[in-house]
Amino acid sequence: MTRRSRVAGMTRREALQGLGGAAATLGLSSGLAAPALAGSDVLRIGYVSPQTGSLAPFAESDPFMLQKVRAALASGLTVNGKTYEVEISEVDDQSNSDRAATSANRLINGEEVNLMLAQGASTAVPVSAQCEVAGVPCITTMDPWQGWMFPQGGDPAVGFEYVNHFFWGIEDIISTFIGMWDGQDTNKKVATVWSNDPPGKVFGSKDIGFPASLGAGGYEITDVGEFQVGADDFSAQITAFRNAGCDIVTGLFSPSEWAIFWRQAQQLGFKPKIATPAKALLFPAGIAALGNGGDGMSTEIWWTPAYPYKSTLTGQSSQELAGDYTATSGRPWTQPIGVVHALWELGINALKNAADPMDPDSVQDVIRNTNMTTIIGDIDFAGSPVKNVAKLKIAGGQWRLQPDGSYALKVTYNAAAPEVPIEDTFKLGVGI
C-alpha cells in the first residue's frame, strides 16, 4: 500500500540493498529503517488520503499531484544552505478512518516522517490525533474546520501543539448559500436534508448550522429528519417537500446519493426552483450523472481555473494547472485539485523555511506563522482567530449545460472572495 519514491541520489538503504541479496535485504531494511534516520539528510513526508472508497473523488488528482511535487523536489530541498533529499510516502486509507489512524501510526513510528500531510473528511481527524500525540507536525484539509477541531476536543482559543488545518467552516458555506438565494424570486421555503454523520450533524446543528441562520434570514425550513449515509430511498422527504411547496432544496449529499435523490424527486414530481446541495456537485462526474437534469443546479466553489492565483511550487496559474491536469489525465479539472495543491504548497513551505527541518518544533513554528498566497488564494494561519486553523475563501456558482451536452461551472457569487471574477448571473429553474 505504501509507495516510496526516491527523489534524489541514492539512499543508504538502497546502497545496502545493492550489496546484499534481495532476500537478505527484506530482513535488513526493516531493521535499519529506524536507526538510519538519525543524522541522515533525508526529509520524509507522509501523505494519507482516500484514494479509493466513498471519498475517492476528493483524491482523484493525487497521482498527478504527487508526480508534480516529486518533479519539483527532484533536486532536493535546500534549507539554510543544506540540501536535503525528500522522500514522500503515500498511503491510501480507502476512505476508512480506522485505516487512516493505523497508516498514520505506521508512518510516524515506522517511517519516522518529519511532516505529515493528509486530506479527507474521514482522514483528517484520525491522522491529526496521532500526530498531536506523537509530536509530528501535521497539516490537514478537506473537512470543515469545526468537524476537525471539535471531535479532537479542541478549543478555538487554545488550539493544538503540532497539528494544523485549513479549510472553510460551516459559517462560510451558510453565508454563501444564503447569499446566493437572497434576492431571488422564491417563496423562501427551504427543504433541508442532512446526512446522519458528523459533517451532517454540523450542517443541521441548531446552534451553528443552517437552521439558526435560515431562520434569521427569514426562510421557512421543512426538514423531516436525517438520512442514513448510503440511503437509497428519499420518498418520505421528497413527498413532504413537495407537499410543503418548497422552492429551494439543500442538503449534504455524496454525488451518488444526490443522483438518487434527484431521480426520485423527478419521479415524485418535486420541482424546486433552486437546488443547492453541498458536496455533491463539486465534481463534473456528479453533475454529468444527472443527464440534462442538472442544468442550473448550484454549489459552493473552493477553486476554479478562473481563480487569479499562481502556484508557489510550479509557478503555474490556476488555468495552467487545470489544463495540465486535463492534458495528463484526460479528465476534466475538479475543485479539490486546487486544495490538494495548496496543501503541498503549505507543507513544502514549512520545511523550506524551518530553522531545522528535522526538528518538529521548528517546522511547526513556521506553519503557525504562515501567511501565504497559494493557488487557492491567501492561507493565513498567523492572523486567524481560530488557533491552528486557516480558512479558505469560498464562492458560489451554477452548473450550466453547454450546447455540446457537457457542463460548465460558472461563478455567480463572490461576496466572500471578491478577487474571484463573477462569470454569470444566477438563473432560477433547475433542469430546464
CB of 95 to another protein, least distance (A): 7
Cβ burial of 269 (10 Å; 0-12, 13-18, 19+) is exposed
- Best CA proximity match to 399, nearest among 261, 265, 304, 311: 304
Nearer to another protein, 307 or 407 (CB): 407
- Whether 57 and 283 have beta carbons less than 8 Å apart is answered as yes
Q: Is the dihedral of CA 158, 163, 168, 174 positive or negative?
A: negative
Nearer to another protein, 61 or 353 (CB): 61
Contacts of 211 (CB under 8 A, 6+ apart): 192, 204, 205, 221, 223
CB of 109 to another protein, least distance (A): 26
The three cell numbers locating residue 335: 475543485
Nearer to another protein, 202 or 379 (CB): 202
CB of 364 to another protein, least distance (A): 33
Q: Is the dihedral of CA 331, 301, 56, 251 positive or negative?
A: negative
The three cell numbers locating residue 115: 511532516
Residue type, 363: V
Nearer to another protein, 72 or 252 (CB): 252
Beta strand 274-278 with 82-92: parallel, antiparallel or unpaired?
A: unpaired
Nearer to another protein, 187 or 196 (CB): 196
CB of 405 to another protein, least distance (A): 13
For cell 471519498, the residue is 55
CB of 279 to another protein, least distance (A): 14
Nearer to another protein, 134 or 193 (CB): 193
Give me the residues that bind another protein (CB under 8 A), please. Answer: 52-54, 56, 94-95, 196, 224-228, 230-237, 239, 254, 256-257, 259-260, 262-264, 266-269, 289, 291, 293
CB of 233 to another protein, least distance (A): 6
